[in-house]
Structure 1
Amino acid sequence: MNIIDTNSSLTAAPEHPAPRPPASKKKLSSAATPVADAANASTTRTTNSCVASITDLTNRLSEYLAPGDLKLVKEAYRFSDEMHLGQVRKSGEPYISHPIAVAEICAEWKLDVQAIMAALLHDVMEDQDVKKEELIERFGAPVATLVDGLSKLEKIEFQSQIEAQAENFRKMLLAMARDVRVILVKLADRLHNMRTLGAMAPEKQRRISRETMEVYVPIAHRLGLNNIYRELQDLAFSHIYPMRYRTLAKAVKAARGNRREVVNKIMEAVKDALASAGLPAQVYGREKTLYGIYRKMHDKKLSFSQVLDVYGFRIVVDSFQNSYYALGSLHALYKPMPGKFKDYIAIPKTNGYQSLHTTLIGPYGTPVEFQIRTQDMHHVAESGVAAHWLYKNEEGSLTDLQQRTHAWLQSLLDIQKQTGDSAEFLEHVKIDLFPDSVYVFTPKSKIIALPRGATALDFAYTIHTDIGDQAIATRINNEPVPLRSELKNGDIIEIITSPSSRPTPNWLTYVRTGKARSAIRHYLRTINLNESTELGKHLLAQALVAVHLNPELPDALVDKLLNESSAKSLDEIHTDIGIGKRMAALVARHILDLVEDDSPSIPFQHTGGDKAFAKRDPVIIYGSEGVSVQLAPCCMPIPGDAIIGQLKRDQGLVVHVDTCENAKRMQVKEPDRWIDVSWGEDLNRRFDTRITVTVNNERGALARIAAEIGESDVNISHVNMEDGDANDMTNIHFTIQVDDRLHLARLMRNIKHLNGVSKIVRDHG
């Protein structure tokens, strides 16, 4: 069953679980009789008066399954009914009604017999302790493997609820990567639970709905299951914000009657125009979902009337060519709005979606959105990968949609190989579940789809991990640009590599795809492991001294630390600190708490000093700690700035200027993740910062400023220009490398005195 309890967020424990029936009681099950008699037998149950029958399911399956397959489905039903006998849902229905409903949703997608059987059996391992070996013996290995992929890991001890949740997601997603039917059954399972969520307590409704919106909705979208994607969105919205949902539903219902005249007028005009052009087509009015209306109002700060004033229609034609002919007919009927045309037929979305999108100015000056597609495209648009995942085309090769889905699923396995733990794996997967994509080209004109905001470095890792690791530069549309450059639709990308190039921690600040992030972290985690261990040892010793503890830890204290931190050895903790997975200051404070909580049993000496004050000692920053300390790219702190540190998972310590607006916002959200930090002495390196110089728009201005920067012993790492507020002024943005705040101040004074310089400021993001 899948009504979620607090033990897991993947599936739910039964509301009233019954012990697994012993073999001697099998004849008591309604499913122990032939399926034709199942409905009659089920009425004899004393637990509930509801009837749970598979008549509708078998009728639907008989449309596309062979009689032999139907027999297997009935056997799976009988076994599932037997295992769930006496178990009921929160609503009071017999529990078997849930697996039947899940199987019916899968039957709508015409999934094969193994997937239907898995849908009927998907909770028996979890709820009734049926072993995988028993399922293999009864129903075969493929069905047992599917059911196992759908079962959560209840028997494993986890350190936290978050770890348990992440590990369950990882198990499901990896099973999906090996067989996409796992996630199709899981989505059907989640859909039925969302449809029946009203029986749960309000807080559980909200928690399950947030999880649905965060994970299952993006997966449904990524696989092109638009019908289930939209329904899950609306159902989750109705439970997260019930008052807003009801208010919007009432407003839409009232507005629908007022819009009928305009809708009918547009529809008749479109039908006449297409008929006059000799184009056979079906024209539908397209309703916006309540969540879609809410999100547009929220994100774009629009009123309800502004959102509802846009009318939507869908046109389904009989051929690829007629899609474009229909587009021409529409543009002849109404004037198109500039910049509002998208051709997703020539370049499909990553989930296989294909349509022509255009927005026209209709009657009364109202915007009208049209989607134009063929019947096959419409089928894929509604059902996505479920539409034909199990089928090959006539040549027996995979379709484009299947190839793209296979590539994404394969990337999950690649990420898994390079990921340290389940929480990190889930983080990387979520990054890749973006609904919006940007489409770029390789030099050989192959189309690559990436999340919006992806950079040239993301592109390099998408092509191959080795290309990403060795990237040193890129050309976009034959122009040399930095690897951090954000990609735009239609860009042609060429990556320049060098065998000597290697990833740096800074790369993590400007990649967007899960594959790139996991590959970079994997490299940083594995290179120079001894050096990372030594660095971590040094940082922990420094942190222990800061809280007035002896860096030499006694064995009893080490054993207690390892037991509470889930590490196998002290060297593992040192390594985690060195690569940024743990923070030395936090480990030191944890050790201090262990000493103070259990001081009689741990022979240990403080180095002296006020322990209460020691806890407030700032962490010293030298800027050479490597992966474990990063200087925030938003404000680029330099020595001399007042600074504050944020502890981020798998990124170590991120240092901000204490006046940074980003830092202030994050402090409000997570106040417990901020610690005091300060600069050390004898910092033997340069630090990046940004300045903007406003100059008269005259010849030679940039050259004069660049020369002054060089004479001030400052390095320029990046420069770009834009028009200033006045027509005769230009803003020049420099990213430079300086020793400290005094070095920067001297440079800014020198530049300020140059001819033509109107203003110079330091940029804090």
Structure 2
Amino acid sequence: MEAEMLEVQSLPPYVEPFLQLSQEYFSEASHQLVKAALRVAVEKLDGMTRYDGTPLVLHSVGTATIVMCEIGLGRNSVISTLLHDVVRLELMDLNRIGRHYGEQCIGILKGLCNISDVDTKAAEDQVDNFRELIVSYSSDPRVILIKLADRLEVMRSLDMFPEEKRQKKSWESLNLYAQIAHKLGLYSIKSELEDISLKYLESEDYNYIRRRLEDTAAEREVFIKGFVRPIEEKMRQQKFKYHLKSRTKSIYSIWRKMKRMHIGFDEVYDLFAIRIVIDCPREQEKAFCWAVYSIVTDFYTPNPDRMRDWISIPKSNGYESLHTTVVTPEGRWVEIQIRTERMDEVAERGVAAHWRYKGVKGDGMGTEEWFSRIRELIEATENQPRADKFNVKLSSGEIFVFTPNGDLRKLNEGATVLDFAFDIHSNLGASCTGGKVNHRNVSFKEQLKNGDIVEILTSKSQKPKADWLNIVTTSKARNKIKAYLREEQAKAASLGREELERKLKNWKLPVTIDDAVTMLCKYYKLKTGTELYGQIAQQKIVIGDIKEILTRLLSNDLPEEERPVKTSVSAKPLGGADDALVIDESLSNIEYKLAKCCNPIYGDEVFGFTTINSGITIHRHDCPNALRLREKYPYRILPARWQKEVVPGSFRATVRVQADDVPGLVNKIAEVINRDLKINIRSMSLNSAGGILSGLINIEVTSTQVVDTVVYKLMKLKGVQKVYRVNN
């Protein structure tokens, strides 16, 4: 090493506590490297201060302490943390650091600098994109863990920042960093970030809940002692080694529950959880946890709906625990968490502890070793993104690209320049002729990569073409192109219809335009009138031939083989079985759909209505439009019926509910439909006004009989005044 790296110089006294911790956590060789990095940081950042006038290097030291002690990372992570600000402020060359501390430190520092460059000024609707971009920039999971530690140190020191900075960093911490911590299983960091953020974003609510928790602390302590006494006595009798923890629900979690459920502090029943941590051999963990569960339920009744078995199937971030909620004889609900010492450390330290327990040593070099194990796993598995192997990336198969103005857009992996153009605006996509990716001219077929800066080139003469559907990968672009092509088809159809109408008037044949279209569609085996009109406009059907065909059809003068075959038309309802609906047997190969104005379902009395462009539409007899259709277009009405022998699929139905606005009624309504009747709720929108609860519930049913059952069951609930089916 160069002389300045090894030169022994006195370090300021305020870093002594950190050095003592480093000596405890690492071997002597590793400790000396950490000490050398600290010396570089102190020297390079000398004279720089934070908002309160304290040395800037204290931020690096504080963050490194969290990385080492609270997250449990190793030497390279701590060194990189100490040197992050030195590199970010361009006070020292990365390659020079690499010569002294190794390539791993260079990789970590590059990742940290990438995240520091991400601009989080985005609007709230882009928060998911920025959260995932931060993860996608971090091919090494240590980068994300260090960044979380960095943000936690900032939040713990937030009082020193100006008000505007406090608000910005609190919003970022709540919406970006806390959610990443949750994904990685760092629940203590997640909760602390959320609580500190709430303190500055909603200070009145935060202080109210904090005071109420302090006021009720003594009462909770007395209750907990009485609650656990019989459990502890039996566990001691059965020779369990264990210890108990009581965890009060975080202020943010309480606040969120109060807001979500519109309840007061006193109505939050699960203010705390009791954690039973067992000390036992790993091969006996599951048996011991279930044995303790059995002891708990010997004294208290469990709620089966609140049972969570993350021992048999751990969470993706490695979290393992057995959760249950029990009720005391006095009617008080208590959450119980049962886990082992190993599981508890995984829960506290997330992915770091999870991988350490995969067979890696727990000494100072353990962290480096478990990253080596991860790399081996990556190299052994092909065709899968690196971050997916250790469950760090929030979602797979996505990329993040920027507009020239710096706006961030999320697209599917494999998306093209044309996809990007349609994602910005449909008009931009429709006129796209190519683009510039990172200032390089490319075709609109060019596939985009993570972090690309994309500019779209357009031309007024450009129009979408059918082969564009083979270029785009996103549903938005595909739908826009199809819509444009349909619009063009409709324009051509309009021209074709006008020509056909004009010719029919000239020919003076005894047939209406609608009847002529029906006859010609059957003759040419076309599904819709739109297809017929389009082919006339494109001269695929010669207009002169139509006169002869209609004349012969009207005089029944066509050869037998050319006459339309009389068959039945079968309709397939949304998600339903084939051949559930039979329409007038004189028609065949005609498109149909269920009318949105009345939303018919299996069991309704229905009829068919022949449209010009969309085939046949199925309406209920009591449809709001039924009377008008029958009076104005009687010749386009077709008989239709449901087949009794066919098992229907699922239909969407809507019921309107009106009830007294009493606590818990919404949950009871949902339970009746979803749990008791086993019916899927598509959406539920209930609003309260003047003591009355009213709104719509969209459900999936198989027939009208099921809807009647829903109405009957809901009417039996106390407080429900009216329940009835609506058209849509």
TM range (shorter): 0.5 to 0.7
Equivalent in 76, 79, 94 of residue 132 of structure 1: 94
Supply the distance in 1 between the matched residues of 2:107 and 2:374 (Cα, whole angstroms).
Answer: 27
Summarize the Cα distance change of 1:542–1:702 in structure 2 as closer, same or farther, 3 Å threshold: closer
Q: Are the structure 2 counterparts of residues 305 and 625 from structure 1 closer, same or farther at C-alpha, using a change threshold of 3 Å? A: farther
Cα deviation per residue 1:371-425 (whole Å; 9 max; x = unaligned)? 0001111111111122264676179999999979976257889989973726999
Deviations 1:1-37 (A, max 9, x none): xxxxxxxxxxxxxxxxxxxxxx9xx99xxx99846x4
Q: 2:581 aligns with which of 694, 705, 708?
A: 705
* 2:205 aligned with 1:232: no
Alignment CA distance shift 1:744-1:150 (3 Å): same
Query: What amino acid sits opposite 1:38 in the alignment?
Result: L
**TM-score normalised according to structure 2 size:** 0.58
1:244 corresponding residue in structure 2:
205
Q: 1:248 to 1:758 in 2, by over 3 A?
A: closer
Matching residue of 2:273: 312
CA distance 1:541–1:67, change in 2 (3 Å): closer
Aligned partners of 2:392, 2:585: CA distance in 1, in Å?
47
Query: Which residue type is aligned with residue 408 of structure 1?
Result: D
Show the counterpart of 1:117: 79
Counterpart residue type for residue 302 of structure 2: P
For residues 243-287 of structure 1, what are the alpha-carbon distances to aligned partners after superposition, in whole Å with 9 as ceiling and x for unaligned?
A: 222222222222334434322221223222323444332222221
* SS of alignment partner, residue 325 of structure 2: strand
Distance 1:533 1:621, change over 3 A: closer
Cα 1:407–1:74, aligned 2, differ >3 Å: closer, same or farther? closer
Tell me the equivalent position of 1:433.
Answer: none
CA apart distance, 1:39: 2.7
TM-aligned CA distance change 1:534 to 1:152, over 3 Å: closer
CA deviation vs aligned residue, 1:406-465 (integer Å, no higher than 9, x gap): 76257889989973726999876xxxxxxxxxxxxxxxxxxxxxxxxxxxxxxxxxxxxx
1:38 pairs with 3, 7, 11, which one?
11
Distance 1:86 1:533 in 2: 46
Q: 2:148 aligns with which of 187, 203, 220?
A: 187
Distance in 2 separating the partners of 1:136 and 1:168 = 29
Matched, 1:144 2:117: no
Preserved contact between residue 176 and residue 409 of structure 1 (Cα < 8 Å)? no
CA displacement at 1:572 relative to structure 2? 3.7
Decide which of 367, 372, 377 is 2:343's aligned counterpart.
377
Aligned length, in residue pairs: 526
Residue 49 of structure 2 aligns with an amino acid whose one-letter code is V
- Contact persistence 1:623–1:629 (CA under 8 A): no
Residues 583 and 279 of structure 1: is their aligned pair in 2 closer, same or farther, counting only changes over 3 Å? same
Structure 1 residue 166: Cα displacement = 11
Alignment of 1:500-649 (within 5 A): 518-519=412-413, 522=414, 525=416, 568-569=440-441, 571-572=443-444, 626=469
Q: How does 1:257-336 map to 2 (within 5 A)?
A: 257-308=218-269, 311-319=272-280, 320=285, 321-336=287-302
**Which of 617, 622, 638 is 1:744 aligned to?**
617
Matched, 1:421 2:394: no
Q: In structure 1, what is the Cα distance between the partners aligned to 2:428 and 2:238? A: 81
C-alpha distance in 1 between matches for 2:394 and 2:114:
22
Alignment match, 2:34: 73
2:19 paired with 1:54: no
Q: 1:199 to 1:159 in 2, by over 3 A?
A: closer
1:194-216 deviation per Cα after TM superposition (whole angstroms, max 9, x unaligned): 11122223332222222222222
Deviations 1:476-500 (A, max 9, x none): xxxxxxxxxxxxxxxxxxxxxxxxx
Q: For 1:91, what is the secondary structure of its paired residue?
A: coil
The equivalent residue for 1:353 is 319
Structure 2 residues not aligned, in runs of 5+: 362-368, 379-384, 494-525, 531-570, 627-636, 645-702, 708-724
Gapped regions of structure 1 (runs ≥ 5): 1-22, 41-52, 429-516, 545-550, 552-557, 592-606, 608-618, 633-647, 657-676, 695-699
| Alignment match of 1:198 (pick from 156, 159, 165) | 159
Number of the residue aligned with 1:662: none
SS at match of 1:87: coil
Q: Kindly state the Cα deviation for residue 359 of structure 1 after the two structures are TM-superposed.
A: 1.1
Q: AA paired with 1:303?
A: G
Compared CA separation, residues 209 and 716, structure 1 to 2 (3 A): farther
Question: Structure 1 length as normaliser, TM-score?
Answer: 0.55
Distance 1:737 1:353 in 2: 58
Shift in CA distance, 679/195, structure 1 to aligned 2, threshold 3 Å:
farther
Contact (CA 8 Å) 1:206, 1:239: kept in 2 or not?
yes
CA contact (8 A) 2:374 2:389 kept: no
Q: Is the 8 A contact 1:629 1:652 kept in 2?
A: no
Question: Counterpart in 2 of 1:214?
Answer: 175
Kindly tell me: are residues 32 and 361 of structure 1, through their superposed partners in 2, closer, same or farther at Cα, counting changes over 3 Å?
A: same
Residues 521-580 of structure 1: CA deviation (Å, up to 9, x unaligned)? x1x639xx9xx99999xx979977xxxxxx9xxxxxx9xx979x976448449999xxxx
Q: Who is 2:676 aligned against?
A: none
Contact 1:714 / 1:738 at 8 angstroms: preserved in 2? no
Structure 1 residues 224, 263: closer, same or farther in 2, change over 3 A? same
Q: Which of 50, 61, 69 does residue 89 from structure 1 map onto?
A: 50
Farther-moved stretch of structure 1 (704-713 vs 329-338): 704-713
Letter in 1 for 2:196: L
Query: Who wins on radius of gyration, i.e. which is larger?
Result: 2
What RMSD in Å do the two structures reach over aligned CA positions?
5.9
What amino acid maps onto 2:182 in structure 1?
H
CA-CA distance at 1:116 after TM superposition: 1.1
- Aligned counterparts of 1:124 and 1:192: Cα–Cα separation in 2: 17
How far the C-alpha of 1:101 sits from its partner, in A, is: 0.6
**Cα distance between partner residues in 2 of 1:371 and 1:400:** 29
Cα gap change, 1:260 to 1:412, in 2 (>3 Å): closer
Look up the SS of the partner of 2:179 in the other structure.
helix
Q: Secondary structure at the match of 1:92?
A: coil
C-alpha separation between the residues in 1 aligned to 2:192 and 2:59?
18
Q: What letter matches 2:37 in structure 1?
A: A
Q: Say whether the 8 Å CA contact 1:213–1:232 is kept in structure 2.
A: yes
Using the alignment, how far apart are the partners of 2:216 and 2:616 within structure 1?
A: 64
1:408 matched to 2:388: yes
Secondary structure of 1:251's aligned partner: helix
Instruction: Please give the alpha-carbon distance, in whole angstroms, between the structure 2 residues aligned to 1:425 and 1:583.
Output: 12
| SS of equivalent to 1:216 | helix
Q: Deviations over 1:583-637 (max 9, x none)?
A: 99x967xx8xxxxxxxxxxxxxxx9xxxxxxxxxxx99999974899999xxxxx
1:118–1:763 Cα change, 3 Å: farther
Q: Name the SS of the counterpart of 2:149 in structure 1.
A: helix
For the 8 Å contact 2:173–2:197, the answer to whether it is kept is: yes
